[in-house]
């Protein structure tokens, strides 16, 4: 009996808590927006099957873990070419977000009350990209489940911020390198509104990325297939490269 109790206690002690799992998730960089240079595309599909493809590059830098700075530049389709987006995560207060529109030749700030808006017509919202709903939340570990025959921690996350578009998030997190391979989002009415599914993972310079993923909006029937085509881990970019002035440079 003592041996059984000892082994049970030892096993539970070695299991991470929900908060520890969440910190590992925040330390990961699934979309290459926290310390990488990526060339990517997003294929948008509406409920009629009509497709639209966005092409973009992104450069990023982690400056105060788990906080990061990132800048995204679009090259296609033609109506988005030259558009840029700057995001700087903040420990206190709202994150900085600026959208540069070449037709206006200036940037505009994206305020916190617009976090729920779709990012460039995709099914990813500004809130999905800034991950503040994970950074400022309460997490509970539900147990273990398999996704694609891989063990995953299942955690419930309750965002604390009033400006969150979600009341609850469900995450399936790989137990080996803590990438989120499935996420379900629920609105404030408790309705399951979106699902994120990792389809392909890739290791680059010792870091793991979700190189292909699908975000599905169950309310609209719209989906976004995100593909990271080229990934290079990078941490040497100066802070000056993540400024409104840099965003507006040709």
Q: How does pLDDT run across 54-77, given as a tens digit for each residue?
A: 999 999 999 999 999 999 999 999
Q: With a cut of 60, say whether residue 183 has pLDDT above it.
A: yes
Q: With a cut of 90, say whether residue 1 has pLDDT above it.
A: no
**Cα–Cα distance measured from residue 154 to residue 143, given in angstroms and rounded to the nearest whole number:** 6
Q: Name the CATH architecture for the domain at 29-247.
A: Clam (2.50)
Q: How does pLDDT run across 95-112, given as a tens digit for each residue?
A: 999 999 999 999 999 998
Q: With a cut of 50, say whether residue 149 has pLDDT above it.
A: yes
**Cα–Cα distance measured from residue 179 to residue 174, given in angstroms and rounded to the nearest whole number:** 5
Q: With a cut of 80, say whether residue 2 has pLDDT above it.
A: no
* pLDDT value at residue 137: 96
Output phi, psi for 209, to 5 deg. -130, 155
- Annotated domain spans of the chain: 29-247
Q: With a cut of 70, say whether residue 115 has pLDDT above it.
A: yes
Encoded tokens for 191: 């309705």
Encoded tokens for 20: 């520890």
Q: With bands split at pLDDT 50, 70 and 90, how would you rate the model's confidence at 8? A: very low
Secondary structure of residue 196 in the 3-state scheme? strand
* pLDDT value at residue 15: 82
């Amino acid at each position: 009996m003592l041996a059984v109790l000892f082994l049970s206690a030892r096993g539970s002690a070695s299991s991470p808590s929900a908060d520890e799992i969440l910190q590992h998730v925040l330390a990961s960089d699934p979309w290459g927006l926290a310390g990488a240079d990526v060339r990517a595309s997003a294929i948008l599909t509406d409920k009629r099957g009509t497709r639209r493809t966005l092409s973009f590059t992104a450069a990023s830098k982690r400056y105060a873990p788990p906080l990061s700075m990132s800048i995204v530049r679009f090259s296609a389709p033609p109506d988005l070419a030259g558009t840029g987006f700057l995001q700087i995560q903040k420990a206190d207060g709202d994150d900085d977000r600026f959208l540069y529109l070449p037709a206006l030749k200036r940037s505009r700030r994206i305020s916190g009350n617009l976090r729920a808006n779709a990012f460039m017509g995709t099914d990813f919202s500004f809130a999905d990209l800034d991950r503040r709903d994970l950074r400022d939340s309460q997490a509970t570990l539900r147990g273990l489940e398999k996704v694609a025959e891989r063990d995953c921690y299942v955690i419930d996350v309750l965002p604390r911020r009033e400006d969150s578009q979600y009341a609850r998030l469900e995450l399936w997190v790989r137990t080996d390198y803590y990438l989120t391979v499935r996420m379900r989002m629920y609105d404030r009415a408790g309705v399951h509104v979106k699902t994120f599914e990792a389809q392909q993972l890739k290791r680059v310079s010792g870091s793991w990325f979700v190189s292909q993923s699908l975000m599905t909006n169950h309310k609209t029937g719209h989906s976004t297939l995100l593909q990271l085509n080229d990934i290079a881990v990078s941490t040497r970019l100066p802070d000056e490269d993540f400024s409104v002035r840099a965003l507006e440079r040709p």
